[in-house]
Amino acid sequence: MKTFNKTQQGFTLVELIIVIVILGILAVTAAPRFLNFQGDAKASVLSGVQGSVRAAISLVNGKALISSQNTTALSCFDDNAVRAATTIETSATPVAPLNTSCASGVDVVFGAPDADVAAINAIVDLPDNFVVHDVQSGAALTDPLTVTASTVVMAASLADLRAGNCLVRYTEATATTEATVTVENAAACE
């Protein structure tokens, strides 16, 4: 038969409650610092947008290659094909291709979409409420947003764009460089 020593007792109810309260306080204050699910989700959305834009660029570039329009300063993507820009579309002031655009479809510059909001929105299905700005649309805001020429910036909010945090940047192709799509400051996603 077993005998119990009176010095071996369990925890009292008060001690258990104190431990539970301390663990609760730690969970409320420390856990959010280690479990930043919202920031991780925003960073994942950015990666998805980057992949979508890259896929769209590849599609347009493939169509431009087929039609031998991948080395021209302006061609047009419409009716699921890239075509040569007409004389009217390329004759602009002061010098073509500045201030030129296709009469229909998406402007294509050296085999990739032009860096403007209309082109990006036409070729990529972005998440709802995703903010997209280029030089013109950024300057048109009440509190202007500075966007580098020949680029489009995209983010989940205008605040992210203004802070330069948690965004995707598309830079159009030139005669010597390919178009690029980069995720910037993903670590700053909150």
**Which tens digit of pLDDT belongs to each residue from 18-73?**
999 999 888 888 776 666 677 788 888 899 999 999 999 999 999 999 999 888 88
Domain membership flag for residue 5: no
Q: In terms of pLDDT, which residue wins out, 7 or 28?
A: 28
Which residue has 């570039």 as its token pair?
61
Our count of domains for the chain comes to 1
CB 127 within 8 A of CB 135: no
Domain membership flag for residue 26: no
Residue 76 region by backbone torsions, left for phi larger than 0, else alpha for psi between -120 and 50, else beta: beta
Domain membership flag for residue 169: yes
Q: For the chain, how many residues are written?
A: 190
CB 112 within 8 A of CB 61: yes
- Where residue 90 falls among pLDDT bands split at 50, 70, 90? low
Nearest to 189 by CA among 57, 69, 37: 37
Domain membership flag for residue 166: yes
Domain membership flag for residue 181: yes
Domain membership flag for residue 7: no
Domain membership flag for residue 114: yes
Please tell me the distance from the alpha carbon of residue 145 to that of residue 81, in angstroms, as a whole number: 33
Q: Which domain holds residue 73?
A: 37-188
Domain membership flag for residue 13: no
